[in-house]
């Protein structure tokens, strides 16, 4: 988000170090099958059970004091060997003669005093620093290391021609350990380092800087000095030492690490470097001692572009803050970084400043910094991370006169905004604003630069994005992750929004309309929210599933259900619920249509099978049985009174009365007919049931007319029911006229069944066959009717006949 120009320049040396020193390790670390790490295992010798395929071997920080050729000769593919921090005292490089692929060899931090010169030509990185060599361990065979990029050396004495054997090599990085260096005060030694881009010199950490060596280097781009301890007396020794190194015009980057100095000496060093060609000056771990007083300093024309000072310890407790802050505020450079220092303020420059980049991370600045400052008109980037800033309104006022300010980082403070503070005033050119890790609430959206394009509100206390806020039409990137937002924002106020980061919030039911209102979105990260997997989420899942995975970052791994408990941990892409169960209106319509179809179907089936007819029949039967149960027991004692009950259609009554009845009665059979035997006052159904039950047989005269008579079918139904109830064979079917099957209504399925299953008598048209017909009738009555109280019953019969 921040264009840290200084980091680019500082990393000039770092790029070389990272690429040349660590690059080879990284290359082979990916092949974990061939990498062996046995560091910090208290080994006293190299293990014998290593795989012959080993390419990377780390046995650093052990107790190994000697190497034998048999230790590594079988590792023919070995490319990286780290032996630092052991107890090696001498080393014969010939033990590596079988390791022709060895490129990286680290022997630093041992106790080496001498080595042989049988080197492997494939070496690219050789580190012999921090050992006990008296002189630099260089011999003529080093000149054959044509692929060498990094060389680490150590020695207590320096000779001018020590590095002559490698003068023709173009090294990228030389590390020279001078912690044990000593020389007589009256002597000045010389060392010529012909070709290297990076030179790193390490001195004794607890001794005052006293190295009087003339070191000359060709094509030096980066110089780093570590462990510099200065006072006002030996300050000139360092300046003289530097004057030899910085003579050439190619040195761009100068770094000092672990520096202890007086303020006066530090100012003198700055004054020495100011007119030099150094463009980037870095100081890490600076300790200021003794006193801080005003010193003369001339801000002459300088090539210096960037000054970075990180981690300052001030052991001067009483001093003039104006002296300290003025020294830095008046610098005529473009980039200044003062981070992790005890500074509580920074003065506004007295004249129009050249600063384009200011980084004051991790200080103790308050809201008063740069208030009413109109001299920073060229400032483009201002970083005030990890300070003591509290009022967002005051931060806006601070930028009022910074007309060129584009990037502002005030993250990791305690900023808040109260709408009662009034309308915020911001510098009109701010396009990148970092407000992350503060205590801002929803009201922050009423106090933002109008032209901001990138806004970072990560880790605040925002619960919602108000709808009635100032329109940020230029806003393209918005980070509101790790807040307490419950909904995705509406892009009505952010018409140009293309990147949204809103993960780790409280969004449970994101709006399905988000992608419709935010059509310019090309990247959204909304995972790790407590999604509630219900019907409301269904449409959102469908919409987000249709968007490219390049747009939806983290999909589907970081999008999981949090509720209900049965779906907890289920990826949203695997959560499925039917549209029917989610749409109440559709569900009601579906149920209604289903019920309607079912009702129509049942009704049609009932009409087709004449269910109402059977229901009425069952109802009549039930009522009759119910009344029969209420009669006295003696009335229920049933005695057969008739030989036969005849059921027929009125249209067939002529045949019944002229043919059938006369013949049966001529045979002394008692016949029950409805017109003479039904009891007045009783229902027709009761009379039918009584006649059937009091008759030995039931004769049915079948014809097309019979089929059309509903009462005839009643009589047939009850007679058939009585057949199963009594367990007797009491039905006689007479087919008076043929009945086509298709003429029998569907409701007369019993009639169809009876005509199929039972034998019936067919009335012959020829008179010659009538005799056989009557003989079959007589045979059907093979039982003499026994009457109880025959006289009484006969009289009852007569009365019944007369009443009809």
* Torsion angle in degrees (nearest 10) through CA of 750, 751, 757, 760: 150
- The pLDDT of residue 700 is 83
CA distances from residue 54 to 35, 50, 80, 125, 421 in whole angstroms, order as listed: 6, 7, 9, 18, 67
- Spans in the chain with pLDDT lower than 50: 1-31, 628, 633-637, 723-727, 783-804
- Two tokens at 319? 């001093």
The answer to the question of residue 676 being in a domain is yes
Q: How far is CA 140 from the centre of its chain?
A: 61
711 within domain boundaries: yes
**Domain total in the chain:** 1
- What the block records as the tokens of 521 is 């979105």
Q: What are phi and psi of 156, to 5 degrees?
A: -95, -15
What does residue 382 show for φ and ψ, rounded to 5 degrees?
-130, 120
- Rounded Cα distance between 518 and 507, Å, is 17
- Provide the CA 110 distance to its chain's centre, in angstroms: 49
Q: Is residue 222 part of a domain?
A: no
Overall size of the chain counted in residues = 804
* Measured distance CA(739)–CA(115) in Å, rounded: 128
The full DSSP string for 497-508 is --EEE--SS--S
Closest CA relative to residue 452, chosen from 431, 424, 471: 431
d(CA 435, CA 410): 6
Residue indicated by tokens 């780790």: 504
Q: Is 590 among the domain residues?
A: no
Q: Which residues contact 43 (CB under 8 A, 6 or more apart)?
A: 59, 62, 63, 64
**538: helix, strand or coil:** helix
Query: Is residue 406 included in any domain, yes or no?
Result: no
Tokens of 144: 């054959």
Residue 682 domain-assigned (yes or no): yes
Contacts of 428 (CB under 8 A, 6+ apart): 403, 449, 450, 451
SS3 432: strand
The pLDDT, as a whole number, for residue 14 is 47
In a domain, 702, yes or no: yes
C-alpha–C-alpha distance, residues 368 and 344, integer Å:
10
Cα–Cα dist 687/795, whole Å: 19
Distance (Å, rounded) from C-alpha 127 to C-alpha 94? 17
Both tokens assigned to 152: 């680490």
The answer to the question of residue 17 being in a domain is no
Domain that holds residue 746: 642-781
Return the structure tokens found at 779.
């045979």
**CATH number assigned to the domain comprising residue 773:** 3.40.50.10140
Cβ atoms 187, 30 nearer than 8 A: no
The pTM for the full model equals: 0.71
Rounded Cα–Cα distance for residues 721 and 713 (Å): 12
């Amino acid at each position: 988000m921040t264009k840290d120009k200084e980091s680019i320049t500082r990393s000039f040396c770092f790029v070389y170090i990272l690429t040349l020193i660590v690059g080879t390790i990284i290359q082979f670390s990916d092949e974990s099958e061939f990498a062996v790490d046995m560091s910090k295992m208290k080994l006293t010798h190299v293990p014998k059970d290593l795989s012959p395929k080993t390419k990377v071997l780390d046995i650093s920080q052990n107790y190994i004091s000697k190497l034998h050729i048999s230790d590594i000769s079988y590792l023919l593919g070995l490319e990286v060997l780290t032996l630092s921090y052991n107890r090696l005292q001498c080393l014969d490089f010939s033990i590596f003669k079988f390791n022709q692929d060895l490129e990286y060899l680290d022997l630093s931090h041992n106790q080496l005093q001498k080595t042989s010169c049988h080197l492997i030509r494939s070496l690219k990185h050789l580190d012999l620093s921090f050992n006990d060599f008296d002189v630099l361990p260089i011999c003529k065979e080093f000149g054959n290391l044509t692929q060498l990029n990094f060389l680490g050396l150590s020695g207590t004495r320096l000779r001018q021609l020590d590095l002559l054997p490698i003068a023709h090599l173009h090294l990228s990085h030389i590390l020279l350990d001078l912690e044990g260096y000593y020389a007589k005060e009256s002597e000045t030694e010389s060392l010529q380092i012909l070709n290297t881009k990076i030179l790193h010199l390490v001195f004794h950490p607890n001794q005052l800087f006293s190295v009087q060596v003339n070191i000359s280097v060709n094509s030096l781009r980066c110089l780093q000095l570590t462990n510099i301890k200065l006072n006002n007396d030996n300050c000139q020794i360092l300046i003289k030492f530097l004057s030899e190194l910085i003579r050439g015009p190619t040195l761009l980057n100068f770094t000092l690490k672990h520096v202890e100095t007086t303020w006066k000496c530090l100012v003198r060093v700055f004054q020495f470097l100011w007119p030099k060609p150094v463009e980037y000056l870095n100081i890490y771990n600076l300790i200021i001692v003794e006193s801080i007083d005003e010193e003369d300093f001339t801000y002459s024309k300088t090539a210096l572009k960037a000054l970075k000072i990180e981690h300052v310890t001030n052991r001067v407790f009483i001093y003039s803050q104006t002296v300290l802050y003025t020294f830095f505020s008046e610098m005529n450079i473009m980039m200044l970084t003062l981070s992790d220092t005890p500074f509580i303020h920074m003065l506004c420059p007295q004249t129009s400043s050249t600063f384009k980049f200011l980084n004051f991370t991790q200080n103790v600045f308050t809201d008063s910094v740069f208030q009413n400052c109109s001299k920073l008109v060229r400032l483009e980037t201002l970083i005030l991370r990890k300070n003591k800033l509290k009022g967002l309104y005051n931060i806006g006022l601070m930028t009022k006169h910074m007309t060129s300010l584009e990037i502002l980082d005030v993250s990791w403070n305690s900023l808040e905004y109260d709408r009662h503070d009034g309308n915020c005033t911001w510098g009109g050119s701010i396009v990148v604003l970092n407000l992350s890790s503060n205590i801002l609430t929803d009201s922050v959206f009423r106090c933002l630069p109008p032209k901001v394009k990138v806004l970072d509100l990560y880790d605040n206390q925002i619960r919602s994005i108000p709808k009635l806020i100032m329109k940020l039409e230029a806003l393209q990137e918005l980070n509101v992750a790790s807040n307490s937002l419950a909904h995705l924002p509406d892009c009505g106020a952010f018409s140009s929004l293309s990147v949204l980061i809103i993960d780790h919030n409280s969004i449970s039911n994101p709006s399905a309309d988000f992608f419709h209102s935010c059509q310019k979105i090309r990247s959204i990260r909304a995972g790790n929210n407590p999604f509630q997997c219900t019907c409301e989420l269904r449409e959102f899942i469908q919409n987000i599933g249709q968007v490219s995975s390049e747009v939806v970052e983290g999909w589907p791994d970081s999008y999981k259900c949090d509720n209900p408990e049965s779906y907890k941990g289920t990826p949203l892409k695997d959560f499925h619920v039917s549209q029917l169960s989610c749409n109440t209106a559709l569900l009601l319509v579906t149920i209604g249509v289903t019920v309607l179809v079912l009702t129509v179907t049942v009704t049609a089936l009932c009409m087709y099978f004449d269910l109402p007819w059977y229901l009425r029949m069952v109802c009549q039967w039930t009522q009759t049985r119910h009344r029969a149960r209420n009669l006295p027991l003696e009335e229920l004692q049933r005695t057969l009174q008739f030989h036969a009950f005849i059921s027929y259609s009125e249209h067939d009554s002529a045949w019944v009365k002229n043919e059938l009845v006369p013949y049966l009665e001529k045979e002394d059979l008692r016949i029950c007919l409805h017109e003479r035997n039904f009891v007045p006052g009783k229902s027709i159904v009761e009379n039918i049931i009584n006649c059937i039950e009091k008759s030995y047989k039931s004769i049915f005269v079948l014809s097309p007319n019979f089929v059309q008579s509903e009462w005839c079918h009643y009589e047939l139904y009850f007679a058939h029911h009585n057949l199963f109830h009594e367990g007797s064979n009491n039905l006689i079917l007479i087919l008076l006229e043929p009945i086509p099957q298709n003429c029998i209504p569907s409701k007369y399925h019993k009639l169809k069944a009876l005509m199929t299953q039972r034998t019936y008598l067919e009335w012959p048209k020829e008179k010659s066959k009538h005799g056989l017909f009557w003989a079959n009738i007589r045979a059907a009555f093979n039982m003499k009717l026994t009457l109880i109280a025959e006289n009484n019953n006969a009289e009852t019969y007569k009365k019944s006949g007369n009443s009809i």
